[in-house]
Structure 1
């Protein structure tokens, strides 16, 4: 195996473990020992991969943004049919790592750099949703629907007892209503 790939593979294990620990234990349980245990390696391996805990946190947040926003938005943009694209966005919203995101939202309340990253992610998501909806809904309605979708997502992720079924019902009802409005306007 390529020796240059080994450090990257180990870093990836730590990042995956960090996302898992956040989802499972919340921000209050997000500790180096838990991440190392989840990754199945020692703290020595951790320090071989990351300069310190803060460097790991910074890289983890960047990893989350790429995996839970940038990569997914790129995939949705590749869908050519505008209705299929809206359906792809809905599927993405339903399959985000909600436990991890819930923990990141808690973390953002006490860490300004995480808050800034969360704000950037929310803005990027809202802009992407609006941009991908313009063809069907026009600029103004697309921007309003994107804001509504983000409020539904953040409300779901901040709820004390979130229900994925309720979230799915809400997001699909908003989408179906907007599409019915567009269809009626075109008749």
Structure 2
């Protein structure tokens, strides 16, 4: 951002998510955020009344950017197979460092735990909807398959933190193939 340009809430969120991904939740202090942003505390407080307000808004931003926006992009495609491939591609491209950091943080902060449960359920519900649309005969089975697939995805992020997104995408595709063959 150029000097003199207005520093937005989203800019604070992007810095927060980057710090969270690289250094963990302990880096999300107002001092550290301001230092990284090269802004004053006054600039921070212009956008947020408190650190708690920032954390709550940061979590909502994460949900919007890494769940709602992905679903919206996938939904723009008409062909169901294209939707499926695009969802796998976008999911694999998500920064696994950030996802792991949020999961770790949820172990020590109830607000984060609550939001993570919401996001996990939203992602599973969307995946179940897509599985159903692709021909799974029952909603119950589609939901169960979505849980299995999502658990595999989260497990891949945890087990292989340095993996290339293309490799993760390939493995997600393999899981999808296994699940699809068991209709």
Same fold (TM over 0.5): yes
Offset of 1:160 from its aligned partner? 7.1
**Worse overlay, 113-122 or 28-37:** 28-37
Residue 129 (str. 1) matches residue 127 (str. 2): yes
Residue 64 (str. 1) matches residue 62 (str. 2): yes
Counterpart in the other structure of 1:108? 106
Structure-2 separation of matches of 1:156 and 1:34? 31
The within-5 A match list for 1:46-57 is: 46-57=44-55
Q: 1:27 aligns with which of 25, 28, 31?
A: 25
Structure-1 separation of matches of 2:37 and 2:60? 19
Counterpart in the other structure of 1:151? 151
Q: CA RMSD in A?
A: 2.3
**Worse overlay, 141-150 or 10-19:** 141-150
- Alpha-carbon spacing, 1:28–1:137, altered in 2? closer, same or farther (3 Å): farther
SS in 1 for 2:78: coil
Maintained 8 Å contact 2:106/2:113: yes
Counterpart in the other structure of 2:173? 172
SS in 2 for 1:79: coil
Q: Structure 1 unaligned runs (5+)?
A: 1-5
TM-score (norm 1): 0.83
Structure-1 separation of matches of 2:96 and 2:112? 16
**Worse overlay, 16-25 or 158-167:** 158-167
Counterpart in the other structure of 1:3? none
Q: Deviations over 1:40-69 (max 9, x none)?
A: 212221112111111100000000000000
Structure-2 separation of matches of 1:51 and 1:128? 34
Offset of 1:10 from its aligned partner? 2.1
Structure-2 separation of matches of 1:93 and 1:60? 20
Q: Deviations over 1:55-91 (max 9, x none)?
A: 1000000000000001111221221111111101101
Structure-1 separation of matches of 2:114 and 2:32? 25
Offset of 1:129 from its aligned partner? 0.6
TM-score (norm 2): 0.85
